[in-house]
Each structure stands twice: as structure tokens, then as C-alpha cells.
Chains A and B, each alone.
Chain A
Amino acid sequence: MNTLLIRRKIIPVTLLFAAFIFSHRSFAQTDTTSKAAKDSIALLRLIEQQMQSAPQTAPQVAPQQTRSGISANPDIGVVADFRTSYISQGKRNFDAYLNETEMSFQSVVDPYIRADFFISLGRDPVTHKYGATVEEGYLTSLSLPAKLQLKVGKFREAVGKINPVHPHALPFIDMPNAYTNYFGDDGLNDEGVSLSWLVPNKAFYQELIFQATSGQEESPAFSRGDNNRAVYLGHLKNFFTLSENATLEFGLTGITGPNDSSSITNIAAADLTYKWKPVQMNTYRSLTWQTEFFYSNAKYNAGRMSNSLGMYSFLETQLAQRWFLTGRYDYAQKPYDRNIVETAYSLTAGWLATEFQKIEIEGKFTHVNVQPDYTQFWLRWIFVIGAHGAHQY
């Protein structure tokens, strides 16, 4: 009986104390602290009711008011990518290696910006030694007016659909030939500034992006060289909701910048993506058809100029909750000589154990008109620990 009386006294005192704390915690960023305190007391009355009215049949699950894991640290995650590879050429044609370990640090900085850092630890394909690079490190504005968003730092540039995505999120292991011919294995990823504008179009989503980067990070198409010319990029993204289950995206990209001949390369690109995924059973079946076209106009020394084309198209189907199959076709002319033409066919099977682990195997056949055909196989095992944010749709 005494215990019951003590409890009756302690609980209201505790609740009042909690109300005081709560009122200072929840809405500290508004000017309505006194109102919030009253609201909090009302909330606590509800909680008291909740506690008092809890049925007796399930005593094993008591309500808890505390939350774990709250800290000022950024979200930290690690994505690792272990690979084996085979190519039907050369003497040393099999390899097994930890391809990349990506460490991410992501957080809101203050009410105005957020910061995202991705540090990549990877093996140099030539020296076979591991080294660290900043894959991306940028801040993004959260509160610019006029539907503008600013990004400053080092980032994967807004070329079509593949380039902005981290490789571990792609449904194949190697990159399309046309993509690597123009931008390299690591893609167009450079330091600079990006300004995007959400076009006030209520009929469909439209985003216009303008980026200016230094060209310091060399790619086959662009290289800063000895001058101050930057790489400029414009991208228009158009996104249509066809139905509850289907979407279509069409994008246009234009890039101009210096190349390694101290002259200019211009690239035009177009991307088209159709996605189907039933909203209701969205973890069991899906289909993506994605195609990108590239056209390059490269000026070299002594007035030489080369125009080239490239494209890829893939179809990814989700066969079951954990199984994915992706077929891809590549066509690529070499940017410096359009008469060298590569065509390739690849098939990738993926097994998704959980959101945090996936195993993929890919086979690829490549035909090049100036050298013997060759075949490649890869196995990739990706695993994630810690926090991992959402990828772009």
C-alpha cells in the first residue's frame, strides 16, 4: 500500500519534470516555448493514459520513453566491394581483390547546409597498392530562395544517369564502354560548383543543373592542362509519372571543356529511363530500361578534329524478391578515332541477401574491329555496415 502511494506521488512529479525537459527540448527552435510546454503537458497526459490503459495480457513489452543512439556525430557508413575478375587475354588474367572501400560521413551542418563526404580506399590497378582518395566531398544548400540548390566541393557530375550514381548501386559490375571511353572508369568527378533550379512546372518534374568544375581530375575527354579554362556542364532532367507503377525520365546534357591537347572537347548526351515497379508489391518485382547516347566533338592540335558516338542500353528485371538479371548492349567509337569501334554484350545476375549485402556475377563479350574478341567475367560481393543513405531514383 505504501509502495502504491509512493508511486502515485513519484509518477506525477516525474511527469512534470519530464514536461519541463520536453518543453525545452522539442521546440527550442521555435518562438513558442510556453505554448510548447502546455502542449507537452497535454501530450504527457496522453502518455499517462496510455500507460494506465495498457492491458495486462502482454506485460513483457513495457513502454519506454528513452531513445538510443542519439549523438552529434555524422551518419557514418562503410561500403566494401570485393571482386574477382577474369579476362580471356594475357598471361595474368585472373585477379581477386578488395576493389573499393567507401567510407561515408553525412550530416546536416546547420539550418542552411548539409555536408556529404565519401572517402574511397582502393587498389591502384597499375601499382596494386592501396590508397585513399576523396571520392566526393561537398556541401549542399538547404534554404536558397527561388527553388535553387547550390552544391560546392568535389562531386560526381550530372551527366545522364550513370555518372551521378556510386558504382556499388549500379546493376552491373563494369561500366559501359562508351562511358569509360569519354569519362574513364571513375566517371566525371571533379571540384567545382553546381547550381540546380527546380523549374516551377506543376505538370511534371523538371530540374535544370549548371555545373562549373576545374578540370583538375583528368578524364579521357577533359583535362585542365596549363590554362584556367574550366569544364562547363548543363543538364535538363524531365521526369514523368506515367502511372502509379511506371515512370519515364528524359534528360539532356551538354559539356564543354579543355582536353589534353589544350583544345576543346564538346559532348552532347541524352538519357531515357523507363521504370516499372508495382507500388503494392514493391519488393518483389520491378523492371528498368535505361539508355544513354553520347556524341563527342573533340578538337586536337594542328586543327585535327574527331567526332564520335557511343551508347549503351540495359534492361534490368527483378525476377523475385532477391534475384535480379540485367542484360546490356554497348556501342562505342573511340573518341580520338571513330573508325575504332567496340560492341559488347553483357549479362549480370544479382542476389540481394538483404539491403546490406549483395552478390553479383557478370559475363561480358566484347568485339573490337581492330583486335581479337575477348570475354570477361567478374564476381562482386558488396556489403554495407553503419548508416547508408538513399540512392537517387
Chain B
Amino acid sequence: MKKIISVLVLFAIISGANATIKVVTTTMDTKSIAELIGGNKVSVMSIATGYQNPHFVDPKPSYIISLSNADLFVTIGLDLETGWSPQLVASSRNSKIQKGSPGYVDASEAVGLLQVPSALNRGEGDIHIYGNPHYWLDPINGKVIARNIANGLERIDPSNKAFYEANLNAFLAKVDVKLKEWEAKMAPFRGTKIIAYHNEWVYFERRFGLQIVDFMEPKPGIPPSPSQLVKVIGEVKADKIKVIISSPYFTTSSSDVVAAQTGVKVLTMATSTGAFPAVKNYFDLFDYDIDQLVAVLK
């Protein structure tokens, strides 16, 4: 009997030692970064796909299964996922990942936020009370996200702190190297005026020196109206704008109207890792978008 108990205890210790940390992220970018920091110590699942509008994800009960077993939950925060993730987390019956618990990571902690409104007025469209939440589209913010995820992993798995720190440092160093490469590619186009479909590129715009002069949406979340199309057509002609950038989850029908009238190119860029087959990780995201933009702006 003692032998059986000893074998069971040993088995439990071995399986515990080899168990991976189960991470659930709301988006593919935090999944990619969590995988780079956590390496083989983690298994990561993202609720949203890379080609999905992260504002509007259906809170399918099947996601609750993953959340109920998660050790760590990573959210973009800033009310980006307010329509779906709080309900899923509350339904998970998992106290480890509730807000305020060690397994809850708000990736936006300490990010330098842009477009923080001084007052909330929905007359201005679907604005975000805490600021523009698309901050992962600046690779420097990717470093802050990585730090937050490493902090979370170290809180729940302190025995592997050195491992996570080493991966974090490698990630930070790679961002530095890649950022120089990306900035060099975009340098000739600094100050270039462009149009965007939705107000989700402000961090990318600021980092790479573009100038978004208008949006296809007259206000955030409001579909393009005929008067907005007329306005944009005028702006494209006046400023000799070469490109309208959009996202995989928006129809390009209204942008195509502007293109037909002006000759401007419509470019569907990747807003997240996994948006297109070539965008396999967080670094691919910027490689892809910058190569696409450079090809159009040349």
C-alpha cells in the first residue's frame, strides 16, 4: 500500500513538474507574445482570431471551457473587449483569472495611451473611455505587453522566473533590432498622408510617422455615409493621397467607390497576428504591414 501511495505521489509530482501553464488570451497578438515569453512552459489559446474584429466577438459558451481551466488570462483591456470578455470570465467559475487575481493580466498596464477622452459623449461615435485601445500596433507597446505578460507568468510560476526573464530580454532585444529595420523602411514616407477606414491605426501612425487625414467612417463605428465619401474623395484629390488602409473585417465596398473615383489604392492591412497566413507571429505583423505599405507608397 505504501508503495502504491509513493508511486502515486511521485507521479503527481512528475506530472505537476511537467504541466504547462494554461494561458487564455483575448487576441492573437497577446497569444503570440505569451508564446514567445512562455516558450515550452505554456500552452496558449486565443479567443479572437487574427482576422476578427476584436470589438465584436460572440461570447460563445465553448470559450468558457478553456477559461475555466486557465491559469492565466490576458486581456487587451481599455474596454476593447467589454462586450464579451467580462461575461466569459465571470462565467468561467475560475477564481484564478478574475480581475485582481494573480492570473489576471491587463496588457495595457503602463502603456502610454493616446486619444484619452476628457468626457464620454457617444455623439462622437463609439469612442473608448480609457483611450484608443489598439495600442499593440506600436512595437514599443509590444515591449510593455511582454513585460506585463512576463510579470503575470512570474506571479503564478515563480520557479521559472529566470526562464521567462531570459525570453523577455530576447523579445525586447529583437523588437529593438526589428524596429530599426521597420523605421528605416518607412523613413522615406514620413509625413505621408493616408486615409484609414476605422480609427485603429493611431499608434502605428505615430510610430512610423504617417499622417492619417481622415477616416472612411464619419465617426468611429458609424458606417461610411455618402457625404463622407464625397468628403474623402475631395481630400484624396486635394492631398494626392495614394492609399486607404483597412482591416480584414471591414468591407471595402465604400473604399472601392473612392478608389474608382480617384485611383487611390485600397490596402487591407493586418491588424493582428494571424490576420493572413503569412502573419504567424507579432513580428510578422509589422513585417507584413510595412512591406505592403511601402509597396503601395513607392
Binding site for B on A (CB under 8 A): 22, 26-27, 29-30, 32, 35-36, 39-40, 42-44, 46-47, 49-51, 53-55, 57-58, 61, 63-69, 108, 111, 114, 140, 142-144, 147-149, 198, 202, 204-205, 207, 237, 239, 241, 244, 247, 249, 277, 279-284, 321-322, 354-356, 385, 389-390, 392-393
The binding surface of chain A is classed by DSSP as: loop
| B52–A322 CB distance below 8 A | no
Shortest Cβ distance from A140 into chain B, in angstroms?
A: 7
Q: Mark B42-56, 1 if CB is under 8 A from A, else 0.
A: 000000010111001
9 A-B interface contacts by CB (under 8 A): A29-B100, A30-B102, A50-B140, A55-B209, A58-B209, A61-B206, A64-B112, A283-B53, A354-B221
Q: Which 7 pairs show the lowest CB-CB distances between chains A and B?
A: A63-B112, A143-B95, A57-B209, A205-B61, A390-B87, A43-B110, A239-B61
Which one of B130, B155, B221 contacts A68 once the chains associate, using CB atoms below 8 Å? B130
- B256: min CB distance to chain A, Å: 15
Question: Given contacts A61-B206, A205-B61, is CB(A282)–CB(B87) below 8 Å?
Answer: no
**Quick check: is B118 within 8 A (CB to CB) of the other chain?**
yes
Q: Tell me if B86 and A57 are in contact (CB < 8 A).
A: no
B53-96 contacts to A, CB under 8 A, are 53, 56-62, 64-65, 68, 82-84, 86-87, 90-91, 93, 95
Instruction: Tell which of A47, A66, A198 touches B116, judged by Cβ atoms closer than 8 Å.
Output: A66
**Residues of the A chain whose Cβ atoms lie less than 8 Å from the Cβ of B68:** 147, 198
Contacts A49-B140, A50-B140 hold; do A142 and B65 have CB atoms under 8 A apart?
Answer: no
- Additional pairs, 12, CB under 8 Å, beyond known A204-B62, A280-B52: A32-B155, A32-B158, A58-B211, A63-B113, A65-B113, A68-B118, A111-B100, A143-B95, A149-B91, A239-B60, A282-B58, A393-B61
From known contacts A63-B114, A355-B126, infer whether A283 and B86 are also in contact, taking CB-CB under 8 Å: no
> Contact: A46 with B60, CB < 8 Å?
no
Give the residues in chain B near A147, CB-CB below 8 Å. Answer: 68, 93
A66 CB contacts on chain B under 8 angstroms: 116
B122 at the interface (CB under 8 A from A): yes
Residues of chain B within 8 A of A30, CB atoms compared: 102, 155
Q: A26-B109, A65-B112 are in contact. Are A282 and B206 (CB under 8 A)?
A: no
Instruction: Report the minimum CB–CB distance from A172 to chain B (whole Å).
Output: 20
B292 within 8 A of A: no
Question: In the bound complex, what is the Cα–Cα distance between A75 and B93 (angstroms)?
Answer: 21
Q: Smallest distance from the beta carbon of A80 to chain B beta carbons, Å?
A: 15
Residues of B within 8 A of A385 (CB): 122
A50-B140, A69-B129, A390-B84 known; A111-B206 Cβ under 8 A = no
Tell whether A61 pairs with B113 under 8 Å between CB atoms, given A148-B93, A393-B58.
no
Task: Tell me, rounded to whole Å, the shortest Cβ–Cβ distance linking B43 to chain A.
Answer: 14
Contacts of A54 in B (CB 8 A): 206-207
Question: B147's contact among A22, A35, A39, A53, by CB below 8 Å, is which?
Answer: A39
Q: B85 to nearest A CB, angstroms?
A: 9
Give chain A residues whose Cβ lies under 8 Å from the Cβ of B191: 57
Would you call B98 and A58 a contact (CB within 8 A)?
no
Which residues of B have CB within 8 Å of A279?
A: 49, 51-52
Contact status A241-B52, CB under 8 Å: no
CB-nearest residue of chain A to B89: A142
Known A-B contacts A30-B102, A280-B51; A241 and B62 likewise in contact (beta carbons under 8 Å): yes
By beta carbon, the residue of chain A nearest B110 is A43
Known contacts A69-B120, A355-B221: does B143 contact A46 (CB below 8 Å)? yes
Judge if B293 is at the interface, Cβ distance under 8 Å: no
Q: How many residues of B contact A (CB 8 A)?
A: 72
* Chain B 146-169 per-residue mask, 1 if CB under 8 angstroms from chain A, else 0: 011011001100100000000000
B144 within 8 A of A: yes
Residue B261 interfacial (CB < 8 Å):
no
Which B residues are in CB contact (< 8 Å) with A27? 151, 155
CB of A47 within 8 A of CB of B112, answer: yes
* A64, A111, A241: the one within 8 Å of B131 (CB): A64
Given known pairs A40-B110, A283-B249, A356-B122, the reply for A50 and B101 (CB within 8 Å) is no
Query: Within 8 Å CB of B154, what residues of A?
Result: 32, 35
> Would A58 and B206 count as touching, CB distance under 8 A?
yes
A283 cross-chain contacts in B, Cβ below 8 A: 53, 56, 249
Report if A205-B65 is in contact (Cβ < 8 Å); known contacts: A68-B116, A111-B100, A390-B84. Answer: yes
Complex contact A280–B248 (CB within 8 A): yes
A61 interface neighbour in B83, B114, B140, B208, Cβ under 8 Å: B114
Q: Chain A: which residue is nearest B191 at the CB level?
A: A57
Q: Which one of B51, B93, B116, B119 lies within 8 Å of A67 (CB-CB)?
A: B116
- In the complex the two chains form, what is the Cα distance from A247 to B59 in whole Å? 12
Residue pair A53, B90 in contact (C-beta under 8 Å): no
B-chain residues with CB within 8 Å of residue A241 when the two chains form the complex:
60, 62
> What's the Cα separation between A385 and B121 when bound, in Å?
10
Chain B residues near A140: list those with CB within 8 A.
90
Query: Cβ of B211 and Cβ of A282 under 8 Å apart?
Result: no
For B150, give the chain A residue with the smallest CB separation. A39
How far apart are the CA atoms of A393 and B60 in the complex, in Å?
A: 6
Closest chain B CB from A247 CB (angstroms): 6
CA distance A249 to B61 in the complex (A): 10
- Chain A residues with Cβ below 8 Å from B151 are 27, 36, 39
The answer on a CB contact under 8 Å between A282 and B56 is yes
| Nearest-neighbor residue (CB-CB) of A388 within chain B | B83
Given contacts A198-B68, A239-B62, A389-B87, contact A68 B110 (CB under 8 A): no
List B contacts of A53 (CB < 8 A): 140
Q: Is B249's CB under 8 angstroms from A354's CB? A: no
Residue of B nearest to A108 (CB): B99
Residue of A nearest to B59 (CB): A393
Q: How far is A96 from B288 in the complex, measured between Cα atoms in Å?
A: 56
Contact check, B116 vs A142: say whether CB atoms are below 8 A apart.
no
Knowing A205-B65, A390-B86 touch, does A43 contact B98 (C-beta < 8 A)?
A: no
Distance of B55 from chain A, by nearest CB (Å): 9
